Structure 1
């Protein structure tokens, strides 16, 4: 009996905090919504060995264009001013993507997109830049063979020459043609900061990442470095992907010499915005983030606001089982989703 009472007393403060948090959400005093993460398609033309979503064919129950527009409007009412039109696959394979981008822009909202860039040609690049879309190009390596292995696809890109000023002379580098088109379109428009680079740290591309970092430094491109989420094909290929702790440390020091210490301090200090904002998967289910299920409902059955609040409560419960420093890694950024899957699979967070 005494043990029961003591257990109840221990649990009480957390329960009270949960009730208080729920009341604050109902009163509109919860975390401010700044963005919407909206998956627009499950289609993909690659088979990346690091893919955590199992992308390939479209889902049978994918949201329609009209349903996606409704979600965007609901997010705007909650305060969102940015929409990440992401895929669980490749967003540029969504047949109505540019219509959706036009709609988002009519709501006076910023569009962000992550793409493998395989379908980007000059017309596509110009349209993205014209619509002020912040486009993250997945540049895993400057070596075609390494890129192909990571994409799970032979000859994934056409590689072309790109020349850029470097001091008193110039440098030449071979790039995927899609990235070259984006850089040219941005320069022609006289804008900056719309074309950015995302790269994933794996055993396959580890040796070539310093070259990617130097290119981003030289071209003044934002570089978004990520570690894998070990679900889907990523956990199936764990041995070919994950680095040991000392390898992460050595890579970290190499990249600090190129990008500077401040870059990594900023990277680790800012947690992923997706996990703190509404996340809507391709079929309308709500996630805690792009990779972590919430099991709280679907936008076809309830409002985005109510589902987002449920997801926040669910996240609070689940995050109690994770380490307190879930937003920080020793060298590179981690997140609760990564720790969630690492806890499931019994693998270390040693980056």
Structure 2
């Protein structure tokens, strides 16, 4: 099966401030009010010029399962509007190229992989070619991606396994993919979702970071995160959900300096205030990518206020 995908190269919400932290302490005995309080404090923080340095009040621990599902799905709908073109940011033309690129993307950027794979694909276009390759020659090609010796061993071993076990074809089943050298569940779901159209959740570092900030789950093991988040969404949403979350993590919700003040889902994010809340300063933190970053589609947190200046909708609605 040949799948062609031209992809852009990419690399890489309401409350915060000290005043918010004090308010949280005062109202600790009344957790039922936290749902309404978080967005209001976020609005005040956004209107001020100074950035917030502390994490906003969290939703109440007794947030119902229904409220969590509604909030999670609303976040995904908002991200779908911002990133309508979300896609895997690795360049590939068929399942073999995709699985190689995904294996090579470990501990490096998609940009670096996309700069490296054209030479690899041209020299070794099929599993048979790469299985018979001289490791030293492959190492030279893969050197820019880092850990090139280990990656060389993985891609050659992967290619040999495809030739010996699957007649040189990339299998379309999870249980077969995870048996291949260098292929875990994350890589398998990337291949299944984007080369075979079979739903899967890709739990990479961006995905783990964001679902933790959004309090979709408190799990830390990738497999458990996958199961917990998957239970919040219809199976048909899983692949695009992964793209939306990863796109957002690379462009706005960064690991060290999230651009909270320019985030389109600020009113729905329990971690608003962990990053820069001033809208103008926050927009300078946005990472624009080749192929387009929909800056004109981004709505600042103020755009979510009603006519009376109150947050709409409140945290947990949707």
Q: TM-score range by the shorter chain?
A: under 0.3
Larger helix fraction of residues: 2
Larger strand fraction of residues: 1
TM-score, normalized by length of structure 1?
0.22
Q: Which has the higher contact order (CA 8 A, sep 6+)?
A: 2
